Every structure is written in C-alpha cells, then in structure tokens.
Amino acid sequence: MRQVLLTVSVLALIVLVGSGLNAHFVTANPPAQPEPAAEPASLGQEYTLETAMRDGRMVYVGAGGAIDGVINPKLTAQSGESVRVTLINGDGMLHDFSIEGLGVQTPLLSAKGATTDIVFSATQAQAGTYDYYCTVSGHRQAGMAGKFVVRR
C-alpha cells in the first residue's frame, strides 16, 4: 500500500514538474514562434506539412500549394532564400520536423491540431539533398521521411 502511494505521488510530481517544464520550454523556444523582427524581409518558400497515417504508415502530407496532398513531398529551396516550414499535427501522435544537416529542428507536437513553424535558410556551400524526418524513435523508419533539396 505504502509503495503504491509512493509511486502514485512520485508520478503526480512528474506530471506537475513536466507541465511546468513544458510551459518553460514553450516560452524559451523562439523557433516555435519566431519574432517578426528576426524574420527575413522576403520569404522565398513556404511549405506546410501535416502529420498523418496513410496505408498503415506514419507520413507527412503536403498541405496547400504544389505539394497539396503529396505524401512526404520533395521540398526545394534556392540557397540564400529563406524557407518557412509549418508543421501541423494531424493525428494526435508525438511528432516533430528536422533536417539534421541544416540544423533545422522544431519542438515536439503531441496534441491533434497543434502547429509550429520554423524559418531558416541554407548557404550556397550547403547546396545538396538532405533528408527531413521526424526524430521520435522509430518514426523515420515508420515512414516519416522525405527529401529537402537546396539548389545552388
């Protein structure tokens, strides 16, 4: 009985500390809501991706523009131009968006309908093809991956 009580109280503490930390992280994570002043004058590319389950796989689905409805669409950008990627959590599972080689990483989203976006640009020296994917363990392998091409 005592052990059960101990376990339950520790878990309650986890949730409390967790939600506190959560609030801290949301406010301490500017990439989630970039300051308007820090944004480049002109946005070259804007992409919106929504997470979903398709044919038994976890995927990103393009929303709007040329990538609308495309599963794990190929994203492209000119070097030097700024890119905004908006991520919409469409399935209520834990997801994020990351391009390891370009240092692009959004916060994790877990609530259905939650969104986050990130603005970045690549230099000429970074021209090439990169993988974008979800960093939650197993999600990349479960299908959440696509290509991001930086043209010179």
Partner 1 sequence: MNGILIVLRTIHIVAGVLWVGSAIFYLLFVEPTVKNLGPAGPKFMQDLIDRRRYPLFMNAVSALTVLAGLFLYWMASGGLQMAWVLTGPGIGFTFGSLVALVVYAIGFFMLKPRAERMGKLGQDIGRTGGPPTPEQVAELHTLGEEMTAIGRWDAILLTVSLIAMATARYWTF
Give residues in contact with partner 1 (CB under 8 A). Answer: 3, 6-7, 10-11, 14-15, 17-25, 29, 53, 56-58, 91, 93-94, 107-110, 136-139, 141-143
Q: How far apart are CA 133 and CA 103, in angstroms?
A: 12
Asked if 95 is part of the footprint of Cu ion (rule: CB under 5 A), the reply reads: yes
Nearest residue (CB) to Cu ion, 67 versus 144: 144
Q: Cα dihedral sign for 116, 60, 41, 126? A: positive
Other beta carbons within 10 angstroms of residue 63's beta carbon come to 18
- CB of 132 within 8 A of CB of 145? yes
Nearest residue (CB) to Cu ion, 71 versus 127: 71
Nearest residue (CB) to Cu ion, 61 versus 144: 144
Which positions lie near Cu ion, rule CB under 5 A? Answer: 95, 134, 136, 139, 144
